[in-house]
């Protein structure tokens, strides 16, 4: 089911199930340890809501009965970033959040509430090419572009 072509379907995002997480770790040469699987499962579930900080990941793990401390989450996330399973996203210099790299994507950040949405790279192929030409920067397919504006919820608020 999770062939490479799966990312071309623009329907509902596939939840990062444990099978998928295990395959992801192995394909990056990592062992499937419990903390790594737990962190990937949290980030997979939160996919629609963007990316999470280390503190948010730890809160979510504690809430679902995993007894994992902040240091372990931090170490686990660092390992996954080094292996390119996750990527770090610095929106303002105080906050770093983390998201999966399995589906190439850029980010839209709400300037009002800080919500982060993923924008699949396939929707921004032309924009990315223009941005590379215009900036002479090497812009990656994941997190190369960050869009700033109002999220749907804040647009609604602004109308009232
Ligand atoms: Zn991301
Ligand atoms: Zn917002």
Ligand closest to 148 (CA) is: 2
Q: What is the whole-number distance in angstroms between the Cα of residue 13 and the centre of ligand 2?
A: 21
pLDDT tier for residue 59 given thresholds of 50, 70 and 90: very high
Ligand closest to 113 (CA) is: 2
Ligand closest to 155 (CA) is: 2
Q: State which CATH number among 3.90.230.10, 3.30.1330.10, 3.40.1190.20, 3.30.1490.190 fits the domain covering 104-160.
A: 3.30.1490.190
Q: Which segments within 7-126 are labelled E, that is strand?
A: 86-92, 95-100, 105-110, 116-120
Instruction: Kindly tell me if the per-residue pLDDT of 125 is higher than 70.
Output: yes
To the question of domain 1-101 being in CATH 1.10.10.10, the answer is yes
Domain locations along the chain = 1-101, 104-160
Complete DSSP assignment for 37-64: HHHHHHHHHTGGG--B-HHHHHHHHHHT
43/46: higher pLDDT: 43
Q: What is the whole-number distance in angstroms between the Cα of residue 160 and the centre of ligand 1?
A: 31
Ligand closest to 106 (CA) is: 1
Q: What is the whole-number distance in angstroms between the Cα of residue 62 and the centre of ligand 1?
A: 23
Instruction: Kindly tell me if the per-residue pLDDT of 4 is higher than 60.
Output: no
Half-sphere exposure at residue 42, Cβ-oriented, CA atoms within 13 angstroms:
28
- The mean of the pLDDT values for the chain is 85
pLDDT tier for residue 54 given thresholds of 50, 70 and 90: very high
State what percent of residues in the chain have pLDDT above 90.
57
The tokens of 105 are what? 């994507």
Q: What is the whole-number distance in angstroms between the Cα of residue 150 and the centre of ligand 1?
A: 18
Q: What is the whole-number distance in angstroms between the Cα of residue 115 and the centre of ligand 2?
A: 5
pLDDT tier for residue 135 given thresholds of 50, 70 and 90: very high
């Amino acid at each position: 089911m999770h062939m490479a072509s799966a990312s071309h379907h623009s329907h509902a995002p596939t939840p990062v199930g444990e099978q998928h997480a295990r395959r992801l770790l192995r394909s990056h040469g990592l062992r499937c340890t419990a903390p790594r699987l737990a962190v990937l499962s949290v980030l997979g579930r939160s996919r629609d809501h963007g990316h999470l900080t280390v503190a948010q990941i730890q809160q979510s793990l504690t809430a679902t009965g995993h007894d994992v401390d902040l240091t372990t989450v931090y170490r686990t996330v660092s390992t996954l970033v080094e292996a390119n399973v996750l990527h770090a996203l610095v929106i303002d210099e105080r906050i770093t959040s983390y998201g999966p790299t399995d589906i190439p994507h850029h980010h839209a950040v709400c300037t009002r509430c800080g919500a982060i949405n993923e924008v699949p790279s396939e929707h921004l192929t032309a924009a990315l090419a223009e941005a590379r030409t215009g900036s002479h920067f090497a812009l990656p397919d994941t997190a190369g572009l960050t869009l700033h504006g109002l999220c749907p919820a804040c647009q609604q608020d602004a109308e009232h």
